[in-house]
Amino acid sequence: MKVLVVGGGGREHALVEALATSPLQPEMHAAPGNPGIARIAQTVDIPTDDLVALRNYAKDNEIDLTVVGPEAPLIGGIAECFWEEGLKIFGPSRAAARIEGSKVFSKELMRHAGVPSADFEAFDREEAAMAYLRTRTRYPVVVKADGIAAGKGVTVARTREEAEGAVREVFSGRFGAAGERIVIEEALEGREASIFVMTDGVNILPFLPAQDYKRIYDGDEGPNTGGMGAYSPLMWMEPATYAATLEQIIRPTLRQLALIGASYTGLLYAGVMVTADGPKALEFNCRFGDPETQVVLPRLESDLLELMLATNEEDLAGREVTWSADKAVCVVLASEGYPETSSLGDEITGLADVPSGVYIYHAATEEKDGAFHTAGGRVLNVVGTGSTVMEARARAYAAVEGIHFPGMQYRTDIALEAMELEEL
Ligand code: AMP
Ligand code: GLY
């Protein structure tokens, strides 16, 4: 059995590691991978947007299953590209991946499916969006570019002026085709959770929920990032709330996708706001979350590869996922200047000895002359596991203390609130 993972970040490192432990003993490949992944997989330097080169690699190397990490290739149609050649791939079709690729599509789908979500209006002209803002009496509102805008397409605007600025920015052309349409929606209040389910289009296999931290600084201050940390499970999320998320958000969305001929297979990620009125959907993603995957997969006891193969065979009915009782906490180590810029080529020390209960995933590193160096904004993901959040957190931060590179920055409050809840 040969398996190819597409992508080269911390999420893909966690995926490669989880797949490599399968009793099916797969030979692991990754494109492009990273120096951490290269320790456990054969890596090949193909960028994630070169769908034809990825397909040719899978064909030439007789890959049995390809697993896609990032959204862009899925939104670009990598699944169809592989299916044309009879190759197996874990991930949704281009039609189903629109649930992440277009906010307008996703909001309209939710409306038709009766999924609880923020009220919204969609616009394809700046003047119409501005006129709407003038009629609106209640602020804040959330302004979203329709397409994928490198995590910069969403603004929670406290005032009309701020909202107008965000609308102008989206229509300025700065986001390309992603900014041709816009969604303006009600701001929801509550706690956010990332919900993952594996689905063959009909059956769902829920994974454990996780929480990520999007802001750069402690206390959720500063600009948004790709994610500065995560923890799982969520002790604050009642089982009834989780069940309501599956029944009111996930299932109707999958039914609606099937109804419009865009049946979803793969991993569906719902970003959910748990409000005073129950869970409401914020957004959908067509792939695993980053860095949430890094706190979910280390605790998976079931065989991830077998589950992915079963997804493709539409054979998830009656299956269960088993988890260790451990908690997991991920601290992201970012380079100097992130998120505005990132410092490259700084030498990283302290990676040789990984303490027990700790996983270190490479997110943006390169190896030169036998040493690791920074190669992007989010450099490493340090995950601690333990029987309590306190233990998992202590292990993660103790491991962080042992790692150094110039300008290294990280949050010191990841899972702090979860630990406090645990103490109650
Ligand atoms: P999205 O890309 O839609 O997930 O938005 C990114 C982030 O913006 C979310 O993770 C939330 O923190 C925030 N956000 C998005 N939509 C809303 C909303 N309707 N109300 C409040 N916050 C939101
Ligand atoms: N953690 C947010 C995301 O993966 O989109």
Q: For residue 11, which ligand has an atom nearest its CA?
A: 2
What integer best gives the mean pLDDT of the chain? 96
66 exposure class (CB count in 10 Å sphere: 0-12, 13-18, 19+): buried
CATH topology of domain 327-423: Glycinamide Ribonucleotide Synthetase; Chain A, domain 4 (3.90.600)
Distance CA 422, CA 394 (A): 14
Distance CA 288, CA 11 (A): 8
Residue 42 near residue 28 (C-beta atoms within 8 A): yes
pLDDT band at 420 (very low <50, low <70, confident <90, very high): very high
Ligand 1 binding pocket, CB closer than 6 Å: 118, 142, 144, 154, 156, 185, 187-188, 192, 271, 282-283
**C-alpha 1, offset from chain centre:** 27
Compute the distance from residue 9 Cα to the ligand 2 centre, in Å.
12
Mutational test site, ligand 1, from 109, 282, 284, max ligand atoms within 8 Å of CB: 282
pLDDT band at 152 (very low <50, low <70, confident <90, very high): confident
Residue 403 near residue 349 (C-beta atoms within 8 A): yes
Residue given tokens 């002359």 in the structure block: 369
The model's pLDDT over 22-50, given as tens digits with 9 standing for 90+, comes to 999 999 999 999 999 999 999 999 999 99
Domain spanning 123-180, CATH class: alpha beta
Question: What's the pLDDT at 96?
Answer: 98
Residue 17 near residue 297 (C-beta atoms within 8 A): yes
DSSP 23-50: TT-PEEEEEE--TTGGGTSEE----TT-
* Residue 292 beta carbon below 6 angstroms from any ligand 2 atom: yes
* Residue 227 beta carbon below 6 angstroms from any ligand 2 atom: yes
Residue 192 CA neighbour count, 13 Å, CB half: 16
Give the bridge partners for 254, in sequence order. none
Nearest CA residue ID for atom 5, ligand 2: 289
Question: CATH code for 191-312?
Answer: 3.30.470.20
The model's pLDDT over 214-247, given as tens digits with 9 standing for 90+, comes to 999 999 999 889 899 999 999 999 999 999 999 9
Segments making up each domain of the chain, as ranges: 2-91, 123-180, 191-312, 327-423
User: What architecture is the 2-91 domain classified under in CATH?
Assistant: 3-Layer(aba) Sandwich (3.40)
107-127 burial, b at 16+ Cβ within 10 Å, e below that, comes to bebbeebebbbbebbbbeeee
Distance CA 108, CA 112 (A): 6
DSSP 295-339: HHGGGB-S-HHHHHHHHHTT--TT----B-S-EEEEEEEE-TTTT
The model's pLDDT over 250-278, given as tens digits with 9 standing for 90+, comes to 999 999 999 999 999 999 999 999 999 99
* Residue 346 beta carbon below 6 angstroms from any ligand 2 atom: no
* Residue 283 beta carbon below 6 angstroms from any ligand 2 atom: no
Compute the distance from residue 197 Cα to the ligand 1 centre, in Å.
20
